[in-house]
Amino acid sequence: MRSKPLASGGGTSDSVSMDPRVDMLDKRMDRIDAKLDGMDGRLRGIELTLAKMPTVNGLWGMIATVLGIALAIAGLTFMVAEWVKG
């Protein structure tokens, strides 16, 4: 909602005609502050959720661990099979 530009001159800084506009802006700023506070809370929640998620390096580390364990089990299986075979 765009209002008409203010007429220059003809008033002082404490002019009564500015009061309704200042009040309107004050109310709008209060609503904006409330919205920003709500967004801040949601962003903190997202930040905490992301902090709990593994990073790319963490995922590669998990993959390497699983592969290492799988290879170790396979190696032990073949060693036991060779030992049993005699």
Helix spans in the chain (H): 19-52, 56-85
For 43-83, the pLDDT digits (tens) are 999 999 998 888 888 889 999 999 999 999 999 999 999 99
User: Which pLDDT value is given to residue 86?
Assistant: 76
Banded model confidence at residue 2, pLDDT cuts 50, 70, 90:
low
Banded model confidence at residue 39, pLDDT cuts 50, 70, 90:
very high
Q: Considering the entire predicted model, what is its pTM?
A: 0.41
Instruction: Work out the number of other CB atoms within 10 angstroms of the CB of residue 18.
Output: 14
Residue 46 has what DSSP assignment? H
What are the residue ranges spanned by the domains of the chain?
18-53, 55-86
